[in-house]
Amino acid sequence: MSDRFFRRKEDELKARSQKRLPPGQALTNKFPVLHYGPVPAFNPATWDFRIWGEVESPLRLSWEEFNQLPRTRLVMDIHCVTRWSKLDTAWEGVSLRDLVERGILKPLPTARFVFQHAEYGFTANLPLEVCLQENFLLATHYDGQPLSPEHGYPLRGIIGAIPRRDDLNVPYFWKGAKWLRGLEFMSQDRLGFWEQSGYHNDADVWKEQRYA
Ligand SMILES: Nc1nc2c(c(=O)[nH]1)N[C@H]1C(S)=C(S)[C@@H](COP(=O)(O)O)O[C@H]1N2
Ligand SMILES: [Mo]
């Protein structure tokens, strides 16, 4: 057994006592890569980001335009349904809540759910109220660097737990789509890629809602 193993176990006990480790989760200091299918290439000349559906005016932004949106930094604990958790992960990107508060984006009163659309048809669904929480971000950077290709470069949705913010709903990490290309605002819910394969639609980490 290495020192590293014992250090991780110590960190795990601490995380558990601080109530930052949801049931059935173990700590990792690595950053595992999990997705279905290949890693897409990024071409800034053709890449666009679209917002459509139940919004006052649809948006279509180039990569350059996306990078002019107001930016937010966020430190969160992330919890993967495959039972690893990683604490204090540092992200930077665009907050949907911020866009709405600044009037850049206006959801219609009929908007109740958001569908993340990613490359190769990958999707993930969340209630709009969850996407408008502080713990949901359209992230371009992790740990001060642009996302790596396998973690979603150039843009991904992320959701996790902000320590001590017990008021926030915290779904498992799969509810953030890597290689994100658009958001569809919807009046009714629709199941995303993993949700269609039997994963829980609400996916609350504290209630351990892994499978439907
Ligand atoms: N586009 C896309 N995004 C995805 C997935 C996927 O298959 N395709 N898998 C999800 C799952 S199941 C998890 S656990 C996280 C993993 O993110 P990571 O590879 O950065 O750890 O991405 C999520 N986002
Ligand atoms: Mo996952």
Q: Which two tokens stand for residue 122?
A: 């990958």
Closest by CA to 57, choosing from 13, 5, 103, is 103
SS3 category, 12: helix
Q: What is the mean pLDDT of residues 134-143?
A: 98
**Cβ(178) – ligand 1 distance below 6 Å:** yes
Specify the pTM. 0.97
Distance from the CA of 203 to the center of ligand 2, in angstroms?
11
Residues 6+ apart with CB under 8 A from 65: none
All domains of the chain in start order, with CATH: 43-196 (3.90.420.10)
Local structure of residue 138 (DSSP, 8 states): E
Q: What is the mean predicted confidence (pLDDT) over 176-185?
A: 98
The string of pLDDT tens digits covering residues 77-115 is 999 999 999 999 999 999 999 999 999 999 999 999 999
Tell me, in angstroms, the distance from the centre of ligand 1 to residue 35's CA: 4
CA of 176 to the centre of ligand 1 (A): 7
Closest ligand 1 atom to 119 CA: 1
CA 147 to centroid of ligand 1, rounded, Å: 13
pLDDT digits (tens, 9 = 90+) for 154-176: 999 999 999 999 999 999 999 99
- Mean residue pLDDT across the chain: 96
Residue to mutate, 30, 35, 83, 145, ligand 1, most ligand atoms under 8 Å from C-beta: 35
